[in-house]
Amino acid sequence: MTTEAHEDLVLRQARPADLDTVVSMLEEAARWMVRRGIEGWTPDGFSRDRIAVLVERGEMYLAVLAGRPAGTFALQWSDRETWGDVPDDAGYIHGLAIRREFAGTGLGREMLVRAEQMVSRSEREYLRLDCVADNEALNEYYRRAGFAYRGRAVVRGLAVALYEKRVCVSGAG
């Protein structure tokens, strides 16, 4: 279910030349969270080297809307640190961030839909994610996007809520 307003959205793997753009989007989102008193990300909490590794592995994505970088996220195929020892049946989205100028336009939801499609094409059953457990607005956002609550975990000292969404496996309709 594609959002009509985002027909011109291009979601592509981030390239090394996109590293500054991706890091700046994550830092912008973190600054916004700090200003609003939302626990979770901090502007200095993003390791440029770690993001560079995700880009190099092809796990970092850049959303380009009308030719302008608008959002980013990482899609990985394992997340034992957060989810523990679970079957190899999911993709894991991390670091979903939208430039503030695109906030409230449905872009985040469209990026989630695109991630669901990538996971489905990879013949994985679920898209999983986590968010700050005490951020009720963000938890509600993911529930409205069709994600089911699957419990809590503590990751690097932060309590997170775990969510998953079943995605259609290729060929299964």
CATH, domain 4-127, list 2.102.10.10, 3.90.79.10, 3.30.300.30, 3.40.630.30: 3.40.630.30
Output the average pLDDT for the chain.
Answer: 90
Q: What percent of the chain has pLDDT over 70?
A: 94
Judged against a pLDDT cut of 80, whether residue 39 lies above it is answered with no
Question: Where are the domains positioned within the chain?
Answer: 4-127
Q: What is the pTM of this model?
A: 0.90
Judged against a pLDDT cut of 90, whether residue 146 lies above it is answered with yes
Query: pLDDT-based confidence at 169, cuts 50/70/90?
Result: low
Q: Are 94 and 57 in contact (CB under 8 A)?
A: no
* Tokens encoding 1: 């279910």
Mean pLDDT of the 153-165 span: 94
Please state the length of the chain: 173
